[in-house]
């Protein structure tokens, strides 16, 4: 166990007491292209800079070597070898990975990331709407496994979730249920919202372990990652 993993966003790290808290789940949510994956990769990079391994469960096929290269520069090789990438093809494969989490938690292992946690679930629900109840139960079970692993092994878990417009292909009741389940299991919740400038994102710490009031500030998405936004 290493301790909190710095996110690299200074105000956030300050409010969180160093970074992603150990023992619990942190949820980052936002609309498309608000930097959730960039944020997740950045946390994995920071974990690797501490000599620690990350399990990166890439459910969207959006982890890009090119993006990692931009964010690590000359340290690419030493950082990449500490990121264990796994790509479930469907919600069932995602379930199998959750069940085998303990196998990944070996020496020098300090972070688990699931990006985007709900995309394969959503796909399955849209294919099999009559199974929504079972799928919700499975979603809940996977979060329980993650929360338990975080707690017993003292390893931070970071999950991301995409906010969808009301007009989508899922049954009307699915969206609020999934959101409630994610919020229930997450001790720390960070919202990413677009601004009028596509390179600038509003970051809000909506819930944290110390129960502080909601904090909000601006960040910039740059080639090297998500950073503080100076001059705003
Ligand atoms: N090299 C780069 N330099 C600057 N900005 C970049 C770079 N690569 C990507 N971006 C910006 O990052 C944003 C997308 O980030 P990211 O993929 O992390 O979003 P996301 O929230 O994970 O999206 P999704 O909901 O589709 O998964 C886009 O606005 C894109 O313009
Ligand atoms: Mg993404």
Q: List the single range of 65-79, 153-167, 180-194, 198-212 with lowest mean pLDDT.
A: 153-167
Residue scoring higher pLDDT (163 or 156): 156
Is the CB of residue 30 below 6 angstroms from any atom belonging to ligand 1?
Answer: yes
Q: Is 145 exposed, middle or buried (0-12, 13-18, 19+ CB in 10 A)?
A: middle
**In the predicted structure, residue 170 carries a pLDDT above the cut 60:** yes
Q: For residue 29, which ligand has an atom nearest its CA?
A: 1
The model's pLDDT over 16-27, given as tens digits with 9 standing for 90+, comes to: 999 999 999 999
The residue whose CA has the least distance to atom 15 of ligand 1 is 35
Max mean pLDDT range (42-56, 93-107, 158-172): 42-56
36 close to ligand 1 (CB < 6 Angstrom)? yes
DSSP 163: -
Quote the CA–CA distance of 164 and 133 in Å, as a whole number: 20
Listed in sequence order, the residues at least 6 apart from 218 whose beta carbon sits closer than 8 Å to its beta carbon are 195, 200, 201, 202, 203, 229, 232
**pLDDT (0 to 100) of residue 33:** 93
Residue 213 and residue 3 in contact, taking contact as beta carbons nearer than 8 Å: no
Rounded to whole angstroms, the Cα distance separating 164 from 148 reads: 28
* Whole-number pLDDT of residue 25: 97
In the predicted structure, residue 11 carries a pLDDT above the cut 60: yes
Q: Are strands 25-30 and 83-86 parallel, antiparallel or unpaired?
A: unpaired
Residue 143 near residue 149 (C-beta atoms within 8 A):
no
- Whether ligand 1 lies within 6 angstroms of the CB of 162 is answered as yes
Say if residue 140's pLDDT is above 90: yes
Q: Check residue 3 and give left, alpha or beta (phi > 0: left; psi -120 to 50: alpha).
A: left
Is the pLDDT at 232 greater than 50? The verdict is: no
- Torsions phi, psi for 29 (to 5 deg): -130, 155
Mapped onto helix, strand or coil, the DSSP state of residue 142 is helix
Q: Which of 8, 31, 34 to mutate to test the pocket of ligand 1 (most atoms within 8 A of CB)?
A: 34
Confidence of residue 229 (pLDDT cuts 50, 70, 90): confident
Torsional sign, CA 85, 91, 97, 98: positive
Q: How many beta carbons lie within 10 A of that of residue 79, not counting itself?
A: 21
Ligand nearest to C-alpha 31: 1
Measuring from atom 27 of ligand 1, which residue has the nearest CA?
32
How much is the pLDDT for 230?
Answer: 61
Report residue 8 as tokens: 């690299």
């Amino acid at each position: 166990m290493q301790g909190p993993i710095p996110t690299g966003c200074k105000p956030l790290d300050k409010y969180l007491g160093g970074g992603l808290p150990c023992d619990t789940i942190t949820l980052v949510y936002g609309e498309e292209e608000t930097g959730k994956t960039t944020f997740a990769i950045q946390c994995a990079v920071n974990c690797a800079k501490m000599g620690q391994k990350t399990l990166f469960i890439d459910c969207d096929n959006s982890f890009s070597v090119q993006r990692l290269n931009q964010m690590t520069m000359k340290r690419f090789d030493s950082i990449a070898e500490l990121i264990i990438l796994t790509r479930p093809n469907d919600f069932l494969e995602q379930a199998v990975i959750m069940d085998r989490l303990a196998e990944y938690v070996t020496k020098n292992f300090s972070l688990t990331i699931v990006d985007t946690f709900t995309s394969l679930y959503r796909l399955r629900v849209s294919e099999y709407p009559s199974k929504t109840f079972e799928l919700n139960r499975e979603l809940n079970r996977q979060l329980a496994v993650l929360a338990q692993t975080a707690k017993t092994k003292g390893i931070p878990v970071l999950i991301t979730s995409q906010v969808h417009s009301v007009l989508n292909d899922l049954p009307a009741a699915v969206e609020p249920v999934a959101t409630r389940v994610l919020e229930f299991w997450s001790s720390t919740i960070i919202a990413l919202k677009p601004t009028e400038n596509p390179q600038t994102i509003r970051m809000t710490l909506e819930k944290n372990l110390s129960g502080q009031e909601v904090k909000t500030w601006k960040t910039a998405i740059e080639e090297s990652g998500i950073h503080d936004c100076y001059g705003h």
